[in-house]
């Protein structure tokens, strides 16, 4: 089997195995075939060149390789984690705060949306710095 992008011969398991991909046979007739991608770089180049189907997930044969990384499924019974502001966290008692941070560090949450988690953590750190500055100003004994 050859890579769809670079035409390199793939020995062993391909990085992506796609099925039902529209192609042309030697006579110019439309046919649906399996295609293979050797690695991430070829996948990116095909993707950037719009040479992959829009709904790639439905064509992917080796979905088990991406379990938990692509198209995560959220259980209908499980609520999405709700991020809180620094002041909301500070108004909690110790037990509530521990529970909040435990849920926040949940591995499923980190895999589901790591960018969102990173932005929220930066916002929380900024809120903490602002609160410290405000406390320092209130506690300072300098009168002008």
Decide if pLDDT at 80 tops 50.
yes
Decide if pLDDT at 131 tops 70.
yes
For the residues 35-50, what does the mean pLDDT come to?
89
What is the percentage of the chain residues whose pLDDT exceeds 70? Answer: 78
- Determine the Cα–Cα distance for residues 77 and 42; give it in Å rounded to an integer: 38
Q: Output the average pLDDT for the chain.
A: 80
pLDDT tens digits for range 108-122: 555 455 666 677 778
- HSE (side-chain half, CA atoms, 13 Å) at 113: 12
* Residue/partner pairs of 1-9 with CB below 8 Å, 24 or more apart: 1/36, 2/36, 3/36, 3/37, 3/38, 3/39, 3/42, 4/35, 4/36, 4/37, 4/42, 4/46, 4/51, 5/37, 5/38, 5/42, 5/43, 5/45, 5/46, 5/51, 6/38, 6/42, 8/38
- Determine the Cα–Cα distance for residues 92 and 99; give it in Å rounded to an integer: 10
For the residues 88-116, what does the mean pLDDT come to?
76
Q: Quote the distance between the C-alpha of residue 48 and its chain's center.
A: 19
Q: What is the pLDDT of residue 115?
A: 67
pLDDT tens digits for range 48-61: 888 888 878 788 88
Stated pTM of the model: 0.47
């Amino acid at each position: 089997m050859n890579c769809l992008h670079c035409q390199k011969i793939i020995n062993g398991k391909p990085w992506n195995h796609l099925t039902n991909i529209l192609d042309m046979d030697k006579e110019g007739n439309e046919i649906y075939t399996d295609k293979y991608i050797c690695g991430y770089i070829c996948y990116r180049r095909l993707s950037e060149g719009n040479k992959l189907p829009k709904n790639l997930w439905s064509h992917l044969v080796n979905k088990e390789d991406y379990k938990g990384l692509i198209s995560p499924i959220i259980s209908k019974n499980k609520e999405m984690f709700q991020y809180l502001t620094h002041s909301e966290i500070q108004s909690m008692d110790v037990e509530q705060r521990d529970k909040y941070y435990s849920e926040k560090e949940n591995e499923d949450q980190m895999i589901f949306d790591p960018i969102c988690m990173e932005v929220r953590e930066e916002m929380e750190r900024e809120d903490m710095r602002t609160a410290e500055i405000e406390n320092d100003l209130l506690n300072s004994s300098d009168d002008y």
